[in-house]
A and B are shown apart, each in its own frame.
Chain A
Amino acid sequence: MELEVREIKGGYGADLVIDGVSFTVRSGSVVTLLGPNGSGKSTLLKMLGRILKPRGGSVLLDGKELFSLDSAGLARKMAVLPQLHQAPGEITVEELVTLGRYPHRGWNFVMSSTDREAVERSLAMTRMTQFRDRPMNSLSGGERQRAWIAMTLAQEPELLLLDEPTTFLDISCQFEIVEIIRKLNRGSGLTVIMVLHDLNLAAACSDTLIMLKDRKIRCTGTPAEVLTPEILREVFQIEARIVMLEEGYPCCITTGSARGEK
């Protein structure tokens, strides 16, 4: 699986939110899109997930134009979890996860054993097996998000797109989600592209960071390459100190705002 983005442009209405962005995602890597509010992170992810049609440029999945692929076939390769999603409240975790089998099932009314195994695996990988019979509206925010991730895993994708999967979650749930993602990536080679707000969370779990600013890519590289005081000052207008952790990734400590200096 390789995803290649070439000079992509897009936005809503008359405004371009993303204007000429190119990058390549290698199979088996975790790539995180970073940037301030309004920098086009979610818009870019929506175009990769085929939810929003680009106004120019192209997205190639294994060399084939993304928008020319058939939808069910694509959904078996790539799963997308949008930022805002809402399940009918009384649907149970297992029912939700089962819906993830949709692109594999077509009009089949009865689940095959492959379908059932995929659902079981997805529940186990997200540690949701014990909650399988619980209605979604009885779960906490973190459990609910894990159930949604389980649904996308039931698609058995090679590539997973997540739009701010940790928003509205407390700090321990945030790390739980990120650890699940990292484990999936290491264990089964799942390629992940996601949008995160928290720089340190991104640094802890990503192979590559893509920093967006003003509709374009400001820089891209490993967490240590991208998270530098200069870049953070320029993109986020913050003063920050970078500490290299012994785990091998950087941690940003914000010390103040750089807005007043301009």
Chain B
Amino acid sequence: MNGFSRFLHSAAGRTCFCIVTAILLAAAMVLSLRFGALKLTTSEILRLLWERPEGIESQIIINIRLPRILLGALTGACLAAAGTILQSIMRNPLASPGIIGVSAGAGLAGILVMLAFPQFSVLLVPAAFCGALLTAVLVYLLAWKRGASPVRLILAGVAVSAMLSAFSSTILLFNAEKAGGILDFSIGSLSARSWLQIEQAGIYMGLGLLGAVALGAKLNILALGDEVAAGLGMNVERVRFLAIAAAALLAASAVSVAGLLGFVGLIAPHIVRLVTGSDNRFLVPGSALFGGLMVVACDAAGRMVIEPAELPVGIIMALLGPPFFLWLLRRQRYGA
């Protein structure tokens, strides 16, 4: 370890990393407000946000671009925090809301509510949460055989996830006009999101993120193994259930906003872990900020590349995420 890397692994360095990432995220959000058919300079945008005048420009920035970007940041933060929690409690670097089936469970429950009770859209996130939690418990039970081994968890998760996604796709296929686009949902998209989604999901996202950060210290203890954690006086089963519930809530609120947006929940925790190490007290907030940054940046890129049309954020994420991840993997000899 060189000096800089050692600094990044200290408490002060980890705090610095979180602050720098937060600043980058804020900057990316402001910059991202510029992209689109309407061209404005950053100072004009800041003035619009501050003075909130009447008019079409203000409408576009405040009611179309701003909620979309806020939702992007929140969605990324939620998925990354959920991924961090799942990787930690399952002691498995492959765990993420997408792979373990939590996202698919949330998606299916959300779709059913949207189609069966379109008037009760307030129920969307609670229903998705129930779907996510049930899926997590189901995967755990399926993988349980004198303890849940990491490999069995992943295999059970992949199998359950594939089945639930097939159900979702089938339902969407037969209700394509009502559901507003099967492709958007299964790839993950932020197009045409508004303050309505923030009203519906924002509170759950906030609660989930707070819970995730508060659980960080306990996740560190749990990472030492069940027996050591029990010896240190932790109620292992209760903490694990709380952590799964928090991950399910985070994934559910993210999926009900942006669909099955993949990769961010898997990759963001790994990138942050490579930089700052695996102390979950910093890893959870650090990953959340970094995940938000990733989604905001990819969404902005998706709106830029083929103007005036746009690519869904999920496609950009799937194109840019893995190569970056592989580069980091090679460079650091991660996991050796």
Q: Is the interface of B mostly helix, strand, loop or mixed?
A: loop
A82 to chain B: closest residue by CB: B227
Q: Is B233 on the interface with A (CB-CB < 8 A)?
A: yes
* Cβ contact of A88, chosen from B1, B6, B233, B278, cutoff 8 A: B278
In angstroms, how far is the closest chain A Cβ from the Cβ of B264?
22
Total interface residues on A, using CB and 8 Å?
35
* Cβ contact of B230, chosen from A50, A90, A109, cutoff 8 A: A50
Q: How far does the alpha carbon of A95 sit from the alpha carbon of B223 in the complex, in Å?
A: 13
Q: Which of A25-33, A96-104, A116-124, A229-237 binds B?
A: A96-104
Contact B278 A90, beta carbon cutoff 8 Å = yes
Contact A103 B224, beta carbon cutoff 8 Å = no
Q: Is A87 on the interface with B (CB-CB < 8 A)?
A: yes
Contact A80 B234, beta carbon cutoff 8 Å = no
- Residues in B with CB closer than 8 Å to A107 are 214, 217
Contact B233 A103, beta carbon cutoff 8 Å = yes
B231 to chain A: closest residue by CB: A80
Interface string of B270-293 (1 = CB under 8 A from A): 000000011101000000000000
Contact A86 B225, beta carbon cutoff 8 Å = yes
Q: How far does the alpha carbon of A113 sit from the alpha carbon of B279 in the complex, in Å?
A: 21
Contact A85 B228, beta carbon cutoff 8 Å = yes
Most chain A beta-carbon contacts within 10 A, residue among B1, B9, B231, B279: B231
Total interface residues on B, using CB and 8 Å?
22
Contact A72 B233, beta carbon cutoff 8 Å = yes
A70 to chain B: closest residue by CB: B233
- Residues in B with CB closer than 8 Å to A161 are 231
Contact A80 B220, beta carbon cutoff 8 Å = no
Q: How far does the alpha carbon of A184 sit from the alpha carbon of B233 in the complex, in Å?
A: 22
- Residues in A with CB closer than 8 Å to B231 are 49, 51, 75, 79-82, 152, 161
In angstroms, how far is the closest chain A Cβ from the Cβ of B335?
8
B220 to chain A: closest residue by CB: A99
- Residues in B with CB closer than 8 Å to A82 are 225, 227-228, 231
- Residues in B with CB closer than 8 Å to A46 are 227
- Residues in B with CB closer than 8 Å to A87 are 223-224
Q: Is A185 on the interface with B (CB-CB < 8 A)?
A: no
A80 to chain B: closest residue by CB: B231
Q: How far does the alpha carbon of A92 sit from the alpha carbon of B220 in the complex, in Å?
A: 13
Contact A100 B233, beta carbon cutoff 8 Å = no
- Residues in B with CB closer than 8 Å to A79 are 231
User: Assuming the A-B contacts A88-B278, A91-B278, are A99 and B224 also in contact, with contact meaning beta carbons closer than 8 angstroms in the complex?
Assistant: yes
Q: How far does the alpha carbon of A109 sit from the alpha carbon of B6 in the complex, in Å?
A: 21
Q: Is B318 on the interface with A (CB-CB < 8 A)?
A: no
How many CB-defined contacts (below 8 Å) exist between A and B?
A: 71
In angstroms, how far is the closest chain B Cβ from the Cβ of A11?
13
Q: How far does the alpha carbon of A50 sit from the alpha carbon of B234 in the complex, in Å?
A: 11
Contact B223 A88, beta carbon cutoff 8 Å = yes
Interface string of B281-325 (1 = CB under 8 A from A): 100000000000000000000000000000000000000000000
Contact B279 A95, beta carbon cutoff 8 Å = yes
Q: Is B232 on the interface with A (CB-CB < 8 A)?
A: yes
Contact A85 B221, beta carbon cutoff 8 Å = no
CB-contacts of A91-144 with B (<8 A) = 91-92, 95-96, 99-100, 102-103, 107, 109, 133, 135
Q: Is B235 on the interface with A (CB-CB < 8 A)?
A: yes
- Residues in A with CB closer than 8 Å to B1 are 135
- Residues in A with CB closer than 8 Å to B217 are 102, 107, 109
- Residues in A with CB closer than 8 Å to B227 are 46, 49, 51, 80, 82, 85
- Residues in A with CB closer than 8 Å to B214 are 107
- Residues in A with CB closer than 8 Å to B6 are 133
A154 to chain B: closest residue by CB: B232
Q: How far does the alpha carbon of A84 sit from the alpha carbon of B231 in the complex, in Å?
A: 13
Q: Is A74 on the interface with B (CB-CB < 8 A)?
A: yes
In angstroms, how far is the closest chain A Cβ from the Cβ of B320?
26
CB-contacts of B1-23 with A (<8 A) = 1, 6, 9
In angstroms, how far is the closest chain B Cβ from the Cβ of A92?
8
Interface string of B205-243 (1 = CB under 8 A from A): 000000000100100110111011011111100000000
CB-contacts of A38-88 with B (<8 A) = 46, 49-51, 71-76, 79-82, 84-88
6 extra interchain contacts, Cβ-Cβ under 8 A, other than A91-B277, A102-B232? A49-B227, A75-B233, A90-B277, A91-B278, A99-B232, A107-B214
**Residues on B facing A (Cβ under 8 Å):** 1, 6, 9, 214, 217, 220-221, 223-225, 227-228, 230-235, 277-279, 281
Q: Can you report 6 residue pairs joining A to B where beta carbons are below 8 Å apart?
A: A49-B231, A71-B230, A75-B231, A80-B228, A82-B227, A133-B6
Closest 4 CB pairs of A and B: A75-B233, A80-B231, A103-B233, A82-B227
